[in-house]
Amino acid sequence: MNRKLETIRNIGVIAHIDAGKTTVTERMLYYSGTSHRVGAVDKGTTETDFDEEERERGITIYSACVTFQWRGHVVNLIDTPGHVDFTAEVERCLRVLDGGVVVFSAREGVEAQSETVWRQANRYKVPRFAFINKMDREGANFEGTLAEIRNRLKANPVAIQIPIGAGPPHLADAFRGVIDLVEMKLLSFDNDVSPPAVKMSEIPEDQLERAQEWRDKMLEPLYDFNEELMELSLADEAIPVDMIRKTLRQATLAHQIQPVLCGSALDGIGVQPVLDAVTYYLPSPQDIPPVEGTNPAKKDAKETRAPDPDEPFCGLVFKILPAKHGDMTWVRIYSGTLKQNSRLLNPGQDIKENCAQLWHIQAARKDQVETAGAGDIVGVIGLRHSVTGDTLCDTKAPILLESIEFPETVISMAIEPESSAERDKLSDTLEMMKRQDPTFRAIESKDTGQTIISGMGELHLEVIRHRLLRDFKLDVKVHKPRVSYRETVGGSAKVTGECHRMVGGQQLFAKVTIQLEHVDNPAQPVIVMTKCSNENVPFHLIEAAMEELRQRGAGGGVIGGFPLGDIRITVLDGEMAEVGSNDTAFAIAAGDAFEKAMKAARPVLLEPIMKLQIVTPEENLGDFVGDIMKRRGEIAKTESRNGEALIEAHAPLAELFGYSSAMRSLSQGRASSSMEPLKYAPAPQEVANTFLM
């Protein structure tokens, strides 16, 4: 698998649900000769949506990796989900990819998940270009979508293609072609020949003036990167095509612009230029700065690894596919060469792993290989302890890369096995699913025997429930979803906890004074610190008190036992006796102080607030606004777009269960919506009262 680094492209196709990501990917595979037919999402025949659940629902749930060649380049492409419940799949893929193709629907424009994936790409500094898809749809608006990319995403899109017409064939000015502004040619696409062909011809007279205006707009932002280009343009001299492409690439890699192309993937229009743009404008592993990390063996001294096969090996685990005979671990190799049957170091866990087998991944298929080098994405079998976000490296050259952060879950559901025989099987299955999905949580309640599973939304939990019942044939009772609340305090309290207790025939005594207070955005949910001097109490006794406070903080709050957050506990003082003051006494006193302080500092129940985006016919706008207000929500903004109303609202998750049914009722099935976690906010007292014990 060792290839020339400059010819490798590690890219992701990202977008809002139903913008056409998977269709774009299918066309790429077909035109590159990797597949011999174009799969259809509606028919469940696509290469990358190979899971049964994906084919039934017609959406992407799990990211899939495929490799193909295009014009002498090797493209490792990951097709990602568009539904917000599976945004973690996008998060971990963007963490390891070098470039991105962001797909927008020309009709819907910039949608909710479009904003989310764009922010994720910004966070990981991923160079990208945009493809405005579905130009053949009713209401398609190229210029409107371009303006939304600029205004809503705070981006700098530069059109390098423009469409001729927009909409389906029955319209007077239907979408019928693409003008390439770099070469100033009309592109037409013949899908009836084999292989499908792209034909270049002169731009029609009636489109020439418009094309020249757009070309000038394209060239203007490039002047900052190439003075020669500016001089040629101002002198009205011919500008070499290679110079324009080189400058576009330079500006794209510098995150200063995002080239924009257009077409209709379903009709096979505009996809070959997208493939060309991947090779022209997106980075190779050589164009990415050396990865940075720390050396845990040298007190976290900074380390870097260049994308060079001769450097010490370094890679990042970004996905795990569990299997009975050995998990398949997806690894992005940043430096060095990885061979079968080699020993690796996991510096984050300080353990050694065995790389037994290496596999080249092609959607549902895989082929075994002996070695893989810098820039490759491979599947590894043999790792036993490594999880998503872990670094793997040469045992003699340790480096620890930044891990992958995932959002907190907001919704839970209780399941319980119908028999004791099912309990162990359920436990093993849930552990396997947690390895696969880092946003999935499962905790067993010893009191009720129920297992609480948590996820990112109703669809996320529904997919998990289907897998448990259908794929793993588990006989379990499934309860309704419920909200994942949090707890904090609204004020501050200074209290003293005491221990006056006879334990094992010995009278124990201790006093611990603490300050418990609310803090915004701490590095960890509950911070425990001390300001107690060693003059009064030996440090080992204070440490026992602090450990008890940490355990109490991790155990949950006093309203409903929900996880605590935004809290700082400071040990201020302690008091001991000559006899009977030991670690146990100080732990008991600290526990007493914690309970007193939590009650005195005004405990607050926090509920997840969701960002809800609704697209509905304008005549239903008032109905939706009224419905949101009834659900304790507030309208953030409304706007009109192509005869439809776009509503952004913020509402408690507890009031949004089953919202899709209510939405269909309000709009006779013509509205659509998406929601994503926004923040945690104090819940009304009447909600908190339902949990008070």
Is the residue at 481 inside a domain?
A: no
85/134 same-domain check: yes
Residue ending a domain, among 221, 253, 281, is 281
Is the residue at 337 inside a domain?
A: yes
Residue ending a domain, among 537, 570, 601, is 601
564/626 same-domain check: no
Of 126, 294, 646, the C-alpha closest to 636 is 646
Retrieve residue 180's tokens.
């390439």
Q: How far is CA 180 from CA 215, 247, 260, 274, in A?
A: 9, 16, 11, 12
- Residue 563 CA to residue 443 CA, distance in Å, equals 13
For residue range 79-108, what is the model confidence (pLDDT) as tens digits? 777 666 677 778 888 888 999 999 999 998
| Residue-wise DSSP of 126-150 | --EEEEEE-TTSTT--HHHHHHHHH
Q: Which run of H or of E encompasses 547?
A: helix 539-555
Is the residue at 480 inside a domain?
A: no
* pLDDT confidence of residue 416: 83
Is the residue at 164 inside a domain?
A: yes
**Residue spans of the chain under pLDDT 50:** 1-2, 49-50
Check which CATH number belongs to the domain holding 136 and give it: 3.40.50.300
Q: What are phi and psi of 625, to 5 degrees?
A: -60, -45
- Asked if 663 and 671 count as a contact pair (C-beta separation under 8 A), the reply is yes
625/568 same-domain check: no
Of 546, 501, 299, 295, the C-alpha closest to 397 is 295
- Residue 399 CA to residue 344 CA, distance in Å, equals 12
**Which one-letter DSSP state was computed for residue 632?**
T
Of 3, 4, 1, 5, the C-alpha closest to 290 is 5
Whose tokens are 């898809």? That residue is 133
16/96 same-domain check: yes
197/267 same-domain check: yes
Is the residue at 286 inside a domain?
A: no
- Asked if 568 and 519 count as a contact pair (C-beta separation under 8 A), the reply is yes
329/267 same-domain check: no
- Cis geometry, peptide bond prior to residue 407 (ω within 30 degrees of 0): no
| Residue-wise DSSP of 422-440 | HHHHHHHHHHHHHHH-TT-
Is the residue at 523 inside a domain?
A: yes
- Residue 262 CA to residue 179 CA, distance in Å, equals 9
Residue ending a domain, among 576, 601, 626, is 601
Of 430, 424, 323, 433, the C-alpha closest to 383 is 323
Q: Which domain holds residue 391?
A: 291-401
* pLDDT confidence of residue 41: 60
- Asked if 318 and 96 count as a contact pair (C-beta separation under 8 A), the reply is yes
Of 70, 98, 108, 68, the C-alpha closest to 82 is 108
Cα 469 to the center of its chain, rounded Å: 27
656/576 same-domain check: no
Left (φ > 0), alpha (ψ -120 to 50) or beta: where does 362 sit?
Answer: beta
Retrieve residue 84's tokens.
């917000």
Say how many C-beta atoms besides its own lie within 10 A of residue 549's C-beta. 27
Q: How far is CA 244 from CA 184, 276, 507, in A?
A: 12, 14, 84
Domain count of the chain? Answer: 5
30/110 same-domain check: yes
Angle in degrees, 0-180, between the axes of helices 583-600 and 539-555, rounded to the nearest 10: 50
582/663 same-domain check: no
Q: Long-range contact list for 38-46, CB < 8 A, 24+ apart?
A: 38/268, 46/22
Check which CATH number belongs to the domain holding 415 and give it: 3.30.70.870
Is the residue at 479 inside a domain?
A: no
185/325 same-domain check: no
- Residue 98 CA to residue 438 CA, distance in Å, equals 22
91/181 same-domain check: yes
* pLDDT confidence of residue 35: 77
Q: CA torsion 155→633→660→12, rounded to 10°?
A: 20
* pLDDT confidence of residue 57: 58
Is the residue at 1 inside a domain?
A: no
pTM: 0.76
437/358 same-domain check: no
- Residue 260 CA to residue 128 CA, distance in Å, equals 10
Of 153, 206, 207, the C-alpha closest to 180 is 207
Q: How far is CA 377 from CA 285, 322, 490, in A?
A: 11, 18, 48
For residue range 585-609, what is the model confidence (pLDDT) as tens digits? 999 999 999 999 999 999 999 999 9
Angle in degrees, 0-180, between the axes of helices 621-630 and 659-667, rounded to the nearest 10: 150
Measured between alpha carbons, how far apart are the two ends of the chain, in Å? Answer: 61
Beta carbons within 8 Å of 450's beta carbon, 6+ residues apart: 414, 415, 416, 444, 479
